[in-house]
A and B are shown apart, each in its own frame.
Chain A
Amino acid sequence: MALSEPARDASAVGAGPILPLEMIDRCIGSRIWIVMRGEREFVGTLRGFDDFVNVVLEDVTEYEETSDGLQVRKLDQIMLNGIHICMMVPGSEGPDHSIPS
């Protein structure tokens, strides 16, 4: 991907702006909170992603807000379709931990 070239150069120097995907690339191996369009969120360990921001996650918790309340689901490993990803928060354990009390 041609767009990623300047960012990689900048990170090699250790200064300058980084591209959004460069930031996500640095988060591989760490926990990440992914907020989807609609009432769904995922928290897991980021294993990889591609140009479409399809994402591979491990030790995943899925949160889904339904009319019956919050549904929580545990999954070992998933490949998440990037098309409905809205926001990614590196280093977060998700909705329960986002606001320090």
Chain B
Amino acid sequence: MSDVGGGGDGGSKTQRSPSEFLKGVLGRPVVVRLHNGTEFRGVLACMDGYMNVALEQTEEYVLGELKNKYGDAFIRGNNVLYICPQQA
């Protein structure tokens, strides 16, 4: 995936392209929010250009309530709204 914005400026604070962001959160706890509002919290195992995501130690939250837990989960990329690192 080539980058239009921020690609050439590897790792500086001011420019951070999605691929650099991805490198930063791999193996870290993240929140994956879907278009329907469902949240998956877990450790980001891997992710690809389609935004397909594999999570470990996954918790599924619907309307802020814990609904389910999974050891491993695969989320198809078309459902993903955003990914953010879990705060502390």
By a CB distance below 8 angstroms, the chain B residues around A21 are: 4-5
Q: Is the CB of B1 within 8 A of A81?
A: no
By a CB distance below 8 angstroms, the chain B residues around A38 are: 35
Closest to B19 in A: A50
- Whether a CB of chain B sits under 8 angstroms from the CB of A25 is yes
- Whether a CB of chain B sits under 8 angstroms from the CB of A28 is yes
- Whether a CB of chain A sits under 8 angstroms from the CB of B16 is yes
By a CB distance below 8 angstroms, the chain B residues around A24 are: 5
Distance, CA A80 to CA B77, complexed state (A): 12
- Whether a CB of chain A sits under 8 angstroms from the CB of B18 is yes
**Size range of the interface on B?**
20 to 34
**Size range of the interface on A?**
20 to 34
Q: Is the CB of A50 within 8 A of B18?
A: yes
Return B62 CB to nearest CB of chain A, in Å.
14
Distance, CA A77 to CA B84, complexed state (A): 6
Q: Is the CB of A77 within 8 A of B78?
A: no
Q: Interface on B for A, CB 8 Å cutoff?
A: 1-7, 14-22, 35, 37, 51, 77-78, 80-85, 87
Q: Interface on A for B, CB 8 Å cutoff?
A: 1, 4, 21, 24-25, 28-29, 38, 40, 47-52, 54-56, 60, 64, 75-81, 83-84
18 A-B residue pairs with CB within 8 Å: A24-B5, A25-B5, A28-B14, A29-B14, A47-B21, A48-B15, A50-B2, A50-B4, A50-B5, A50-B18, A51-B3, A55-B18, A56-B6, A79-B18, A79-B83, A80-B82, A81-B77, A84-B81
